[in-house]
Structure 1
Amino acid sequence: MTAFALGAKARAAGYRLRGFDAVGSTNCEALAAAASGDPGGIWFAALQQTAGRGRRGRQWSTPYGNLAATLLIIPDADASAAATLGFVAGVALNRALCQLLPETSIRIGVDGADGGGQSQGTRIALKWPNDVLADGAKLAGILLEAQKLDDGRHAIAIGCGVNALAAPDGLPYPATSLTELGTGRTAQQVFETLSDCWVEVFGLWADGRGTAQVLQYWREAAAGIGSPVAINQNGQIVRGIFETIDDTGRLIVRADNDARIAITAGDVHFGATASARS
């Protein structure tokens, strides 16, 4: 076992932790624990994943020294409310990384999304639906997976991957790491900060009753709101202006004819690169 530790707030809130040097997938570990009857409230954290996965079945590479962390929870909320936990994780991860990354001038990313969101002065921004950007390049990603339990409830595995030491090679999009951004923060330090930020934002969410407040915090940290956007939905391209996310977390695009289009899934590209990439 490697030297991961929970933050003080997470310990006080009763969270548990299993740390690994390397593991196949922290999400798989979490879902296996749920199937074995674990009540939830446990983190699985590793410095390397050998069989990690991302959104829509894609591979998620975790080179050694980066952070792969998954929280297993069994919320007292219906499925529609539980689906918004990705935004809870996004806000928590955004807060953690903002604390760890030095504040300097913001650079415009090659995808046309700067690091400021709507709150200027920070290099970190949230990209719909599940990425965290630094200076416009991908720094972290989030993956939610659900598993129905015998009693009818759903166990939720909330996976967070952060490029602490290095960004993976050969990606089709710009990526960066905390090392490249000029901070020597380790995966263990990122995890400890994240575990405390999670407690704060999850408390606001309050089994779905505080979803509106969490979504507002997400909007305030969002990349690309008010900018041109293209969304690739399995080869079908939707273009327009990224107007907002609605009260269920759908991306709202204003098309050229002023129609509002609600997007539930797809690959998002901003600015001038949207047409080229799509």
Structure 2
Amino acid sequence: MTFRLSPGAQRNGYRLEGHVRVGSTNAMALERAKAGDPGRLWIAAVKQETGRGRRGRIWETPEGNLAATLMLVLRGIQQPAALGFVAGLSLSDALNRVAPNLYLSVGVDGGATAQGGRFTLKWPNDVLADGAKLAGILLESAFLPDGAMAIAVGIGVNVLAHPDDLPYPATSLHWLGFPVDAEGLFEVLSAAWAENSAIWDEGRGLDAIRRKWLTRAAGLGSEVAVKIDHDVVRGTFETIDSECRFVLREANGRTRLISAGDVHFGAVASAGAA
């Protein structure tokens, strides 16, 4: 097992801890920050035993999949929530590089397709392949004694295997027929992150990130249902706004801005989100 940073990532000052097995790469990253690590630290593993997803959900990472977290230390107002969109773009760039000939059928649960390639981005933090979840992204943060903020950008990718007991479809790169390994994918991901982070430019390039993200957005222009806590709202996925909030156009013409929720496309949106 050998994780490596790309030459571009190394030139930009990123560092790496590679592991076979960890509890949680996000938890480990925040521990490093609290111990005084200056940031730009990747922690990567091929097995994660206590990982978690959004809203405390379990994110299982069996051996052979990729669990990677980038720990950053931010000072001042840098729109840290947008880093999830930087991560999604970086991962989709990496996937298109390691699987350039991978054919996927068109459509997201019967909805509209993205314009930008075979891997699509589901708001706010999933990467889809053929409409099924291939990867998830989780941001966690902690304030440091000097007033800075540590951000853990966690990325979990189904490389070798995917769960089959979820309430939504999931897939893996091997299931799709592409035999990349976690270590190889990580090296390309580290290069793509360095490139997209330069576009983000500590928050100054957020609009460029937003526009690039929209070219790969799953379900853009299609009927969606968004579950917000215990409520479900329906309408058309119109865009994301300048703060990367989900913009929903309801049937009555009203525009609704959504900061957090679970998005469902196509047939699920028509029937109702469970």
Same fold (TM over 0.5): yes
Query: Corresponding residue for 2:194?
Result: 199
Q: Within 5 Å, which residues of 2 pair with 1:39-58?
A: 39-58=38-57
Q: Which structure 2 segments of 5+ residues have no match? A: none
What is the CA deviation profile of residues 26-52 of structure 1, one whole-angstrom value per residue up to 9, with x for unaligned ones?
000000001101000110000011100
Distance 1:180 1:277, change over 3 A: farther
Q: Does 1:24 align with 2:19?
A: no
Tell me the amino acid that sits aligned with residue 57 of structure 1: G
Query: Corresponding residue for 1:15?
Result: 14
Query: Corresponding residue for 2:62?
Result: 63
Task: Give the alignment's TM-score, normalised by structure 2.
Answer: 0.96
Out of 92, 97, 100, the position equivalent to 2:98 is 100
Tell me the amino acid that sits aligned with residue 46 of structure 1: A
Q: Within 5 Å, which residues of 2 pair with 1:256-267?
A: 256-267=251-262
Aligned mates of 1:124, 1:110 — CA distance in 2? 11
1:77–1:208 Cα contact (<8 Å) kept: no
Distance 1:92 1:242, change over 3 A: same
Aligned mates of 1:221, 1:77 — CA distance in 2? 30
What is the CA deviation profile of residues 137-196 of structure 1, one whole-angstrom value per residue up to 9, with x for unaligned ones?
110110000100111111000000000101123111101111011111000011000000
Aligned mates of 1:68, 1:124 — CA distance in 2? 19
Q: CA RMSD in A?
A: 1.4
Tell me the amino acid that sits aligned with residue 201 of structure 1: N
Q: Does 1:154 align with 2:149?
A: yes
Aligned mates of 2:157, 2:75 — CA distance in 1? 28
2:108–2:265 Cα contact (<8 Å) kept: no
Query: Corresponding residue for 1:214?
Result: 209
2:108–2:130 Cα contact (<8 Å) kept: no
Task: Give the alignment's TM-score, normalised by structure 1.
Answer: 0.95
Query: Corresponding residue for 2:133?
Result: 138
Aligned mates of 1:110, 1:190 — CA distance in 2? 24
Query: Corresponding residue for 1:231?
Result: 226
1:212–1:247 Cα contact (<8 Å) kept: yes
1:112–1:273 Cα contact (<8 Å) kept: no
2:72–2:152 Cα contact (<8 Å) kept: yes
Deviates more, 1:5-14 or 1:218-227: 5-14
Q: Does 1:38 align with 2:37?
A: yes
Aligned mates of 1:113, 1:135 — CA distance in 2? 11
Out of 178, 184, 190, the position equivalent to 1:189 is 184
Aligned mates of 1:63, 1:202 — CA distance in 2? 29
Q: Which structure 1 segments of 5+ residues have no match? A: none
Q: Percent identity?
A: 53
What is the CA deviation profile of residues 198-233 of structure 1, one whole-angstrom value per residue up to 9, with x for unaligned ones?
000001111100000001110011110000000011
Aligned mates of 2:266, 2:224 — CA distance in 1? 6
Q: Within 5 Å, which residues of 2 pair with 1:110-149?
A: 111-113=109-111, 116-119=113-116, 122-149=117-144
Aligned mates of 1:147, 1:130 — CA distance in 2? 20
Aligned mates of 2:66, 2:271 — CA distance in 1? 32
2:108–2:218 Cα contact (<8 Å) kept: no
